[in-house]
Structure 1
Amino acid sequence: MNEYLKRYIELKKQFVATNNSPDSVRSLYAFKEELEYMEEEQAKEVLVDVYDLLDFKKDAYDLLCQIGNRSDKKTLKRLGTLKDYAENWGNHYAIPKPKTPKEKQSEKEQRLQLGLPTFRYHPDPLDTGAFDESKEGVVCDCCGKTTHIFYTNPFFSIEDIAYLCPECIASGAAARKYNGSFQDDLSLDDGVDNPEKLDELIHRTPGYSGWQQEYWRAHCGDYCAFLGYVGARELRALGVLEEVLDDSMWDEEEKEMIRESVNGGHLQCYLFQCLHCGKHLLWMDFD
């Protein structure tokens, strides 16, 4: 057994034993990046296994096509399996690389440099796709100024609005001007009695885009922060799958659906976190 294969087996054991923990996923990514610079045949063979384990199905298939022995029946069978995944999934469902605390802090600093306001209930709106960037810039419909960051998610108003800048959302100017909201005030968890918190959520917080009607979770007497779109793999990588299943909102059948969910699939999960105790919560819907 070569050294590359030994390392892969140990990393896979750690990955399985810890239920896809963030540290185990980061270790696999580091090994993947190391192997990608190797020219040895043995390294490339193991790289196929690493790609496959992390669900980079297209990369695994493409590499095996290059190095695989097509006279070997096992190789041909694996190529057939990987081809189906590669054609239907590509690398779309690859397990994401968890960010370190240092990387998260660096991203926050970059967002501050961009002048992006702080949104209490949606802390990383660029990361979640609530905002997009334009090098040329677009004109905000609310203030009339050119902005290089603009809103992309639902805004509920009578008028059809093309572009809103982060500042007009954060100040409430957009909601006031168009008598609109970024979240339906009836599609929320109960338990928040402060009207100022409701106002901040629906009038001054960028929303998210769901398959059906978006719903906002609450905990500890306050609305939660929206963290992004996830499936079971992302939840395992973040180490919060069992935590989100510990929720009286879900029955056993729904919990099983969450365990089998795929980010971007027919059942989409949306991840929230309590601002006070840190508990993670989900909402989910179907396309």
Structure 2
Amino acid sequence: MNEYLKQYIKLQKPFRVTQGNPDSVCALYAFKDELEQSEDKQAKEILVDVYDLLGFKKSAYDLLCQIGDRSDKKILKRLGTLKDYSEKWGNHYALPKPKTPEEKWKEKERWAQLGLPAFQYHPDPLDTGAFEESQEGVVCDCCGKTTHIFYTAPFFSVENIAYLCPACIASGEAARKYHGSFQDNYSLDDGVDNPEKLDELIHRTPGCSGWQQEYWRAHCNDYCAFLGYVGARELRAMGVLEEVLDDPMWDEEQKDMIQESVNGGHLQCYLFQCLHCGKHLVWMDFD
């Protein structure tokens, strides 16, 4: 047994036992990075396994095509299985590497360095896809200025608006000018009695895109921050799956559904976090 295989066996066991908790995922990613730097054939063979385990199906298939012995029936069978996954999903369902506090801080710094406003109820709107970047720039329909960051999530208004810049959203000018909102004020949790918080959420906060009607969670008498789109694997990798299941909103059947959810799949979960106590909550819907 070579050293690469020994290391893989050592790392994949806790990953499977914990169903992908943060430490086990980070350890596999570190091992993946190490293997990708090696030209050793044994390292590449184990890299196929690591890709496969983490959900990088296309990467696993492509690499096995390069190094696999097609005279080996087991290799041919695995190639067929990986090809099927690769053609259907590519690397779309790969388990993301949990972000370190330093990485999260750098993302916030980058947003600030771009001179963009902060949104307390949607702190990482570039990461969640609520905004996109354009090197050429586009013209904001609201202020008429060129912006290199433009809004892509839902905006509910009578007029069809192509582009909005972050500043016009944060100031409330976009919602005022077009009599619009970024969130339906009926599709959110009860329990927030401050009308100013509601105004900030629906008129000055970038929204998120749902399969069905978007819904916003609340906790501690305030609306939560939207963190992004997740499935059970991502929740386990972040170490918050048990936390989001501890929620009176969900019955046992619904909790089972959350535990079977796949990011980007037929059942989508949306992750929120309380601004005050830090509790994580989810919303879910179907395509």
- Tell me if both proteins adopt one fold, taking TM over 0.5 as the criterion: yes
- Following superposition, the deviation at residue 229 of structure 1 comes to 0.6
Q: Please give the per-residue CA displacement for 1:182-237, whole angstroms capped at 9, x wherever unaligned.
A: 00000010000000000000000000011111000001111000000111111111
| TM-score normalised to structure 1 length | 0.97
The residue number in structure 1 matching 2:99 is: 99
Q: Please give the per-residue CA displacement for 1:230-286, whole angstroms capped at 9, x wherever unaligned.
A: 111111111111111111111222211111111111111110001111111111111
The residue number in structure 2 matching 1:124 is: 124
AA of the residue aligned to 1:231: G
Indicate whether 1:284 and 2:277 are aligned.
no
Using the alignment, how far apart are the partners of 1:49 and 1:158 within structure 2?
Answer: 51
Using the alignment, how far apart are the partners of 1:105 and 1:146 within structure 2?
Answer: 28
- Following superposition, the deviation at residue 17 of structure 1 comes to 3.2
The residue number in structure 2 matching 1:56 is: 56
Using the alignment, how far apart are the partners of 1:180 and 1:250 within structure 2?
Answer: 31
The residue number in structure 2 matching 1:81 is: 81
Using the alignment, how far apart are the partners of 1:205 and 1:100 within structure 2?
Answer: 26
Q: How does 1:174-189 map to 2 (within 5 A)?
A: 174-189=174-189
| TM-score normalised to structure 2 length | 0.97
Using the alignment, how far apart are the partners of 2:144 and 2:61 within structure 1?
Answer: 49
Matched residue count: 287
5+ long unaligned stretches in structure 1: none
Classify the secondary structure of the residue corresponding to 2:149: strand
- Following superposition, the deviation at residue 121 of structure 1 comes to 0.3
Segments of 4+ moved more than 4 angstroms: none
Classify the secondary structure of the residue corresponding to 1:285: strand
Using the alignment, how far apart are the partners of 2:260 and 2:158 within structure 1?
Answer: 38
The residue number in structure 2 matching 1:113 is: 113
Using the alignment, how far apart are the partners of 1:80 and 1:243 within structure 2?
Answer: 38
* Farther-moved stretch of structure 1 (180-189 vs 253-262): 253-262
Using the alignment, how far apart are the partners of 1:239 and 1:283 within structure 2?
Answer: 17
AA of the residue aligned to 1:214: E
| CA RMSD across the alignment | 1.1
AA of the residue aligned to 2:28: L
- Following superposition, the deviation at residue 71 of structure 1 comes to 2.5
Q: Please give the per-residue CA displacement for 1:145-176, whole angstroms capped at 9, x wherever unaligned.
A: 11111111111111111111101111111111
5+ long unaligned stretches in structure 2: none
Indicate whether 1:193 and 2:193 are aligned.
yes
Fraction of identical pairs, as percent: 83
Using the alignment, how far apart are the partners of 1:19 and 1:286 within structure 2?
Answer: 23
Indicate whether 1:249 and 2:249 are aligned.
yes
AA of the residue aligned to 1:157: S
Q: How does 1:259-274 map to 2 (within 5 A)?
A: 259-274=259-274
